[in-house]
Structure 1
Amino acid sequence: MSYFITQLANGLSYGFVLGLIAVGFVIVFTSTGVLNFAHGSVLLTGAYLVAVLHGPLGFWAAAVVGIAGAALLGVLINAVLVRNLADANPGTAAILMLGVDILLLTELTRRIGDVVLPIGAPWGADVVSLGGVTLPTSRVVAAGVAVLAFGLLWFLFARTGTGVAMRAAAADGDTASLMGIRLSRTGAAGWALAGALAAIAGIFLASFPAPGVAPTLAISAFAAIPAWVLGGFDSVVGAIVGGLVIGEVTALAVGYEAQLHFLGRGLGEIVPYVVMILVLLVRPSGLFGRAEAVRV
């Protein structure tokens, strides 16, 4: 029983990290209408900055720089590329983001090489034991930081002028623009938020289960895509719930893979996409997404 509870706790903490990444997908999509397939490289950039700067600056200062750097990278991608697209078609923007992801990942891979860069996290390989359940300290800290980040996001969107403007722009950009809301500003804020959330998630993914920063860390962002789609393309709450669902499903699939050996290896990597496909067959807009009303 304790093993099952441990897997549930692992899935919960991993789900919170996936939720951070998935919320970034949602914010970019609702603020600028872009499927941000460069999110993985932005995540890797933030983690890479922490890895190379924690020596001279210390971990916490390096973490601040990494988060700010990923946020700035998001703003630059939006300002230099997204806003200057001649064709605002979502498909064109998605292809552009794939190109950006390849370029950034190629450069980061060249810089990192074939080594794994430690990020110098103070919790290291420590574990926390409570009631027969043992978890890596990084997972516990990740869950706490994610809950704090989600609380701050709620405050931003519900209690600040910038957040209200972002919500209005996401709901109806044309009307929001007529009311004096600058869509360029809300778009930049959305990309900055997404970049910062990706960097925070990258720091924890580089702590556990990965031993440090490697180019493969960028693939972790794509593991959040099922969470994003499951919750709904335009729902922040859905992204969080989707992250928790996918986190639990993945943890249980990995934890009981030996008992499910007849399904083959790598079950934890496949199950999230199976869940995503099954949900899309029933609810194409996701669990919390808004279905578009088409008037004929």
Structure 2
Amino acid sequence: MTDFVQALVNGFGQGSIYALLALGYVMIYKATKVISFAQPALMTVGGLFTYHFTREFGLPFWIGLAFAIVAGAVVGMLVERVALRPMIGKPVFTLAIITIGVDIVLRVLANRYIGSQSRIVAYPNGGDRYSAFGVSISQQRLGLIAVTVVTVVALTLFFRYSRAGLAMRATAIDQETALAQGIRVGAIFALAWAIAGGLAAIAGTFVASGAAGMDQNTWTIALKALPAIIIGGLDSIPGAVVGGLLVGITESIFAVYQPSYAPWLGTNFSLVVPYALMFLVLLVRPYGIFGTREVERV
């Protein structure tokens, strides 16, 4: 039982990273109807911003994270303005392919900075662990979960009560109607990318503050947020959180129990679990757990 609870705790922490990344995917999709494949690069760049601010400039962790969020948001806005804004009106598939190109360019630049050594962001007292009833969790994981909760609450309040949030909701429903009501849809697109860039910076920072740090292959972590948004629903913010946590918890439980109870599945099967879970959910709910069902009239 202790192993199971420990797996749940570890999975909840890892799932928080997936949830932050999934929220970025959903923000962009809701505003532009484009699935952004640039999130892995934005995560890497955001983590490196925090590393640079804390290691090179000597800023405290939380101040460095705040600056990294702003820098990540600026990068997101620049990507939208330079690479995607000129392509408005083109097929969605074309825009998605462009985000792949953006991801490659940003990751090449980030890898030149990383080099052959992993970059580790020092979390304050990150090695300290809290234990109770045989279950332990690091202070770094607690900080990650707390930041994720605060971020989700802030986004919820933003969408429900702010003028910009209401404008984003209107744009997500119908862009032409939003334009007719005087909403600057282009500015909403930029805002969506800025928020996604900031969320990716938070996720990248906590990835870089882990034991392994940030290396040239760390970007693959962000790929697991894709099953999370499909499980939760491409256009659902609660779905992004639930999907991210489900992926993290399922992956952690399989990593603990699969080698003992199903060794015939091979080693590292837990890496495949997010995609298997996605497949099972789509068989039952093709639009995800919280996704909006599209109704077409002919």
- Which band: TM-score by shorter chain? over 0.9
* Structure 1 counterpart of 2:244: 243
Q: State the one-letter code of the partner of 1:52.
A: H
Q: State the one-letter code of the partner of 1:39.
A: Q
Q: 2:118, 2:215 within 8 Å by CA — same for their partners in 1?
A: yes
Deviation of 1:86 after TM superposition, in Å, equals 6.0
Q: Give the counterpart of 2:100 among 69, 94, 98.
A: 98
Q: Write out aligned runs for 1:158-169 (5 A).
A: 158-169=160-171
CA RMSD of aligned residues (A): 1.3
Distance in 1, matches of 2:163 and 2:78, equals: 23
Q: Give the counterpart of 1:154 among 146, 153, 156.
A: 156
- What SS is found at the alignment partner of 1:257? helix
* Structure 2 counterpart of 1:71: 73
Deviation of 1:178 after TM superposition, in Å, equals 0.6
Distance in 2, matches of 1:247 and 1:216, equals: 19
- What SS is found at the alignment partner of 1:5? helix
Q: 1:29, 1:35 within 8 Å by CA — same for their partners in 2?
A: yes
- What SS is found at the alignment partner of 2:23? helix
Is the alpha carbon distance of 1:175 and 1:107 closer, same or farther for their aligned partners in structure 2, counting shifts above 3 Å?
A: same
Deviation of 1:49 after TM superposition, in Å, equals 1.2
1:2 and 2:2 matched? yes
Q: 1:45, 1:66 within 8 Å by CA — same for their partners in 2?
A: no
Paired residues, number: 295
Q: 2:119, 2:208 within 8 Å by CA — same for their partners in 1?
A: no
Distance in 1, matches of 2:144 and 2:88, equals: 40
Deviation of 1:148 after TM superposition, in Å, equals 0.6
1:88 and 2:90 matched? yes
Deviation of 1:206 after TM superposition, in Å, equals 1.8
**TM-score of the two chains, using structure 2 as the length reference:** 0.95
* Structure 1 counterpart of 2:28: 28
Spell out, residue by residue over 1:10-39, the C-alpha distance to the aligned partner (whole angstroms, 9 max, x if none).
Answer: 111221221111011000011112211011
Q: Write out aligned runs for 1:1-296 (5 A).
A: 1-55=1-55, 56-58=57-59, 59-85=61-87, 88-208=90-210, 210-259=211-260, 260-296=262-298
Distance in 1, matches of 2:209 and 2:6, equals: 18
Q: State the one-letter code of the partner of 1:227.
A: A
| Identical counterparts, % of pairs | 37
Q: Which moved more, 1:147-156 or 1:256-265?
A: 256-265
Distance in 1, matches of 2:117 and 2:222, equals: 20
Spell out, residue by residue over 1:245-267, the C-alpha distance to the aligned partner (whole angstroms, 9 max, x if none).
Answer: 11110110111132122211111
Distance in 1, matches of 2:237 and 2:90, equals: 24
Q: 2:26, 2:235 within 8 Å by CA — same for their partners in 1?
A: yes
- What SS is found at the alignment partner of 2:130? strand
Spell out, residue by residue over 1:175-226, the C-alpha distance to the aligned partner (whole angstroms, 9 max, x if none).
Answer: 1111111101111111111111111111112223x42121222111111111
Distance in 1, matches of 2:76 and 2:109, equals: 16
Deviation of 1:283 after TM superposition, in Å, equals 2.1
Is the alpha carbon distance of 1:132 and 1:86 closer, same or farther for their aligned partners in structure 2, counting shifts above 3 Å?
A: closer
Distance in 2, matches of 1:23 and 1:117, equals: 25
**TM-score of the two chains, using structure 1 as the length reference:** 0.96
Deviation of 1:130 after TM superposition, in Å, equals 2.2
Gaps of 5+ in 1: none
Is the alpha carbon distance of 1:7 and 1:86 closer, same or farther for their aligned partners in structure 2, counting shifts above 3 Å?
A: closer
- What SS is found at the alignment partner of 1:135? strand
Gaps of 5+ in 2: none
Is the alpha carbon distance of 1:271 and 1:122 closer, same or farther for their aligned partners in structure 2, counting shifts above 3 Å?
A: same
Distance in 2, matches of 1:125 and 1:94, equals: 40
Is the alpha carbon distance of 1:207 and 1:261 closer, same or farther for their aligned partners in structure 2, counting shifts above 3 Å?
A: farther
